[in-house]
Structure 1
Amino acid sequence: MSLNQNNLSNTFNIPMTRTRSKLLQSPMVAKTAMKENFNFSFTAKTPDKSAQTTIPKYGLKRKLSAQDLSPPTDTFSSCKRHRPLSRISSMLSPAKPVRRVSQALHRSVTPKPSRPKTMQRRFSTTWKYQGPSPLPTPTKPKASKRWLDFAESNLSNQMSKIQIMRQEAIYELYSGEVELVQDLKTLKEACSSMVYYNPMHTLKILKPNELQEIFGNIHEITPLHEDLVQKIMELQQANGSVNSIGTTLIVWFPKLLPYLDYCANLFTAKLALEEKRRDKQVADFLERCKQSPFSRKLDVWDFLDKPRSRLMKYSLLLKNITKLTSTEHPDYSYLLNATSSIENFVSKVDIKAGMAKCSFIQSKLFYVTDDQHIPLIDESRLLLCSGIVKNKAGTKLHIFLFEKVLVLCRQATRNEVFMYQVHRHPIPVASLAVEDVPDENIRTNSLRGSFKDALSGGRAGKNFIRVSNTSSKRLQYLLQVNDEHDKKQWLNELNQAVSRHSHAINV
């Protein structure tokens, strides 16, 4: 069925204008009008201000006056703003069909809110880049860790597989020294912003004595490794290979004496660093350094602990080179001597570090009663093992195994100073008894258990050790460790301490 334009005009009683003619030509409007049986009553015929037009069925939110539907006059044509026809046709386009005639009329006569002048001025002055997108920053190529990348290309055909692996092992030792020197310079050297020590001293973030407590004698460590790097470079032949390195290491290892003081200071340095991190200025500075490119997302403690970890790694590196060296090679015997030399030195470092840690813990012990302070605590010079355990009630305890006595403590604060409060009475190693407690024989009374566990007499405990004093039946402790691995380690350390002490008495 076709709908004539004049019929619509007569039905609505609307004077025909160009705008209304364009509106009534839309197939959606015609179809909707036919579907609704033309249930509209527009009564406006003349542009009268008092006359108003309503839409009773659909009830628009506001009433439309007759002036809104009347054609513009010549008097107001120059000053009245009209909506362009393209906007009305876009509203009634097939892509977004209007379901009702009332909605179409309402959208056609409702003025669009204008943008504020401040927004217009802001957007008009905004400059937009129209050029091509910038190229990404080229990534810095990583240094290769393979010796063949630096050696002559024909060496791979002239050398055997074992010989190439030996050169790779020597190059691993060399590249590790180069990386360590760079990290040590990051800590101490005064070059641009790639430092920790000097900016903290210049900006007065930490006092000189506090810096000395944290960094120790790091300035004595850096020249040692620079010297080794230089010596290995001198050993390198024209084709890039190194024939012998054992004699150089035998001469260089005795120069590592500054490591004795440096490693002994690491325990107190870490505690001092954690204490200073509570200061917001120090924490902010260290976090900014950590996020900087030169730190490679590493904390300052990672740099401070690298010399110690490097020292412990020399034995493994030399054993790997020795394994790849023929027994008939002149460097084989020198490598064995160098390995033995560095292992002896590492044992000395461990002893001195243990003595320093032992004296520090002794200074932090707080005794509630005088009978807790037994002479064996002050006579001990080594701290064999330490850690955190729990008693049967679930309370955390710090356990310290000295060479002559076992001490249990609780963490406490006295006069705003961190201390270890001695728990009950220490147990001398001479009268120490150690027992491995099976898991099914223990029922814990911890408050963290469920209500069902409380009714059943507690939960089945796991990983418990019983330590007691053979001279006093009442003095015994039931201690719980983290897991089975820690349990085996603690049993081993405690039994070794007892056997070592009994052996010393018999001798």
Structure 2
Amino acid sequence: MLIIYVFFKLLKLSSCGFQEPSNKRVKPVGKSNSLTGVLPQMKTPALKRLSQSISRSISFRTDARPLPPALPRSRQKPSSFPRRRNSQCWSDTVESHDLTAKEIKRQEVIYELTQGERQLIEDLSLVKKVYYDPMLKLDIMSESELGQIFGTLESLIPLHTDLLSRLERLRGSEKTVGEVGPTLLNWFPCLEAYVTYCCNQVGAKALLDQKKNEKRVEHFLRLCQESSFSRKLDLWNFLDLPRSRLVKYPLLLKEIQKCTPPEHPDEDYLPDALELIQNIVAEVNKKTGEAECQFYRRGLHYLEDSQRLPEIQQSRFIYCHGELKNNKGQRLHVFLFELALVLTKPGEEKDGGHVFNVYRQPLPNALINLEEIPDGEAAGGGTFRGAFTGGNDKVKNCFRVSSRGRSKFNPYILQANDSFCKQQWITCLRQAIVQSRDRTAQTSQSQLSLHPESGLCHIAEQIACGESA
């Protein structure tokens, strides 16, 4: 009976129509194709052509999709969430205007900023009404679990509603915006609330993935995903929308600044506003990286005390992590922490988190020797070739990691899923090695200045390690 109730509940919500979220990740400005999708018929041909040209150059929104066929009229109360977003640009809202091409472009970007706020508010409201509230009322998840997954999402709605109200008040009777810099400079500090929300996302994603293994949760989320209001997107797409919106602000602000003339009053505010939002995004990224590092570090299960390297505990972020195969064909989950490389085998989930059993001895990044293995090269004995190639002589997407000056450690030969994944690992490893060695060198210099005798011994040890490698 519960499933039938949920199904009809979703049908009712779907029939009312809901706002659809954007499912595209943030892309650099030059790689976008359209500001607002397909541009409707313009009332002024010259303005239309100019607007289309501008749209191709400054777009941050999803590619155009054909509109669905018109639905028969219903007597039901219309939903506050339209089924499709109105792909309208600023030029559609004015009959005609005596503006330069640069000023029209500026108005288009400001309008895109305003519309983006409106759409985000609708998306976040949808998440609460369609996902959070029903799962709580139907006892599909506990209030504590929902709190962990959704975090502070609800508190972001009034925050963005405030910005939307401010932007709409700036629009004059002629539907143009004069100064936008002071408003953004005053509002951007509110985005520091994103630190809490984004830091929670690592644990939220892990718990959500775990709960999807429960039949009732999986069934409810599947019904939602198959309904029209979700546009086939899963819950996580919605929960990740605030982070995606956050990283768009610097891009939009750069476009506004680019098409603002030198004599414009905004010239005194936009540089400061851009610097402020870039610093906020950097701080959110830093704190989120630290939270991710702590989350996975807590999940490490050491089989021996010798595996507990101080470099692991001292690491503040993770360069990358993911699945690789070893020379026996075993699937490993490898973590490249700021200061150490750790190979693990995923274990059973425990207390709402993943467990990773540490495999073999972790390596400090400063002592890593990295070697690419060209595709097709026989990189080891028969066991290696058989594990990776099924008996063929060709080996692909592999690299070797060994330890400088520690011959007792056998090298790690690892295989990525494809060439792109291999290159990502190679790039991250090289970056981690260089930065860790620079850090070690700086530490050695500090020790030398404070304790000359011990510092010289440490340098001699490092030289000896390098010669024996």
TM over 0.5: yes
The aligned counterpart of 1:429 is 365
Cα displacement (A) at 1:247: 1.4
Select 1:161's aligned residue among 95, 98, 101: 101
Cα displacement (A) at 1:434: 1.6
Q: Is residue 201 of structure 1 aligned with residue 127 of structure 2?
A: no
The aligned counterpart of 1:150 is 93
> Compared with structure 1, are the counterparts of its residues 381 and 389 closer, same or farther at alpha carbon in structure 2 (3 Å cutoff)?
same
Structure with larger RCO (C-alpha < 8 A, sep 6+): 2
Q: Is residue 412 of structure 1 aligned with residue 354 of structure 2?
A: no
Instruction: Please tell me whether the aligned partners of residues 145 and 172 of structure 1 are also in contact (alpha carbons under 8 angstroms).
Output: no
Structure 2 CA distance, aligned partners of 1:369 and 1:503?
29
Unmatched segments (≥5 aa) in structure 1: 1-134, 189-193
Q: Is residue 260 of structure 1 aligned with residue 203 of structure 2?
A: no
The aligned counterpart of 2:127 is 187
The aligned counterpart of 2:54 is none
Unmatched segments (≥5 aa) in structure 2: 1-69, 74-81, 443-469
> Compared with structure 1, are the counterparts of its residues 137 and 391 closer, same or farther at alpha carbon in structure 2 (3 Å cutoff)?
same
RMSD: 2.2
Q: Is residue 466 of structure 1 aligned with residue 396 of structure 2?
A: no
Aligned counterparts, 1:2-41, within 5 A: none
* Letter aligned with residue 183 of structure 1: D
Structure 2 CA distance, aligned partners of 1:415 and 1:341?
41
Cα displacement (A) at 1:141: 7.4
The aligned counterpart of 1:378 is 313
Q: Is residue 175 of structure 1 aligned with residue 115 of structure 2?
A: yes
Q: Which of structures 1 and 2 has the bigger CA Rg?
A: 1
Structure 2 CA distance, aligned partners of 1:141 and 1:390?
44
The aligned counterpart of 2:423 is 488
Structure 1 CA distance, aligned partners of 2:268 and 2:389?
62
Q: Is residue 441 of structure 1 aligned with residue 377 of structure 2?
A: yes
Select 1:246's aligned residue among 175, 181, 187: 181
The aligned counterpart of 1:128 is none
Structure 2 CA distance, aligned partners of 1:301 and 1:141?
20
Q: Is residue 297 of structure 1 aligned with residue 213 of structure 2?
A: no
Instruction: Please tell me whether the aligned partners of residues 392 and 446 of structure 1 are also in contact (alpha carbons under 8 angstroms).
Output: no
Structure 1 CA distance, aligned partners of 2:150 and 2:92?
37
Select 1:353's aligned residue among 273, 277, 288: 288
Task: Give the paired residue count.
Answer: 359
Instruction: Please tell me whether the aligned partners of residues 327 and 387 of structure 2 are also in contact (alpha carbons under 8 angstroms).
Output: no
Instruction: Please tell me whether the aligned partners of residues 407 and 422 of structure 1 are also in contact (alpha carbons under 8 angstroms).
Output: yes
Cα displacement (A) at 1:403: 1.3
> Compared with structure 1, are the counterparts of its residues 463 and 136 closer, same or farther at alpha carbon in structure 2 (3 Å cutoff)?
closer
Select 1:211's aligned residue among 146, 157, 168: 146
* Letter aligned with residue 436 of structure 1: E
Runs of 4+ in structure 1 deviating by more than 6 angstroms, as ranges, are 414-417
Cα displacement (A) at 1:201: 1.4
* Letter aligned with residue 181 of structure 1: I
Structure 2 CA distance, aligned partners of 1:250 and 1:436?
48
Instruction: Please tell me whether the aligned partners of residues 333 and 346 of structure 2 are also in contact (alpha carbons under 8 angstroms).
Output: yes
Structure 2 CA distance, aligned partners of 1:382 and 1:140?
40
Cα displacement (A) at 1:221: 1.1
TM-score (ref. length: structure 1): 0.67
Q: What is the DSSP-based 3-state SS (H/G/I as helix, E as strand, rest coil) of the residue aligned with 2:319?
A: strand
The aligned counterpart of 2:256 is 321
Query: 1:185-234, CA deviations, whole angstroms, 9 ceiling, x for partnerless residues?
Result: 1122xxxxx42112211222111110111000112211111011000001
Cα displacement (A) at 1:501: 2.1
Instruction: Please tell me whether the aligned partners of residues 354 and 384 of structure 1 are also in contact (alpha carbons under 8 angstroms).
Output: no
Instruction: Please tell me whether the aligned partners of residues 442 and 462 of structure 1 are also in contact (alpha carbons under 8 angstroms).
Output: no
Cα displacement (A) at 1:412: 1.8
* Letter aligned with residue 231 of structure 2: R
Cα displacement (A) at 1:172: 0.9
* Letter aligned with residue 419 of structure 1: V
Q: What is the DSSP-based 3-state SS (H/G/I as helix, E as strand, rest coil) of the residue aligned with 1:479?
A: strand
Query: 1:227-272, CA deviations, whole angstroms, 9 ceiling, x for partnerless residues?
Result: 1100000110111111121111111111112200110111111111
* Letter aligned with residue 467 of structure 1: V
Q: Which has the higher helix share?
A: 2
Cα displacement (A) at 1:385: 1.5
Select 1:310's aligned residue among 236, 242, 245: 245
Instruction: Please tell me whether the aligned partners of residues 378 and 385 of structure 2 are also in contact (alpha carbons under 8 angstroms).
Output: no
Instruction: Please tell me whether the aligned partners of residues 327 and 388 of structure 2 are also in contact (alpha carbons under 8 angstroms).
Output: no
* Letter aligned with residue 303 of structure 1: F
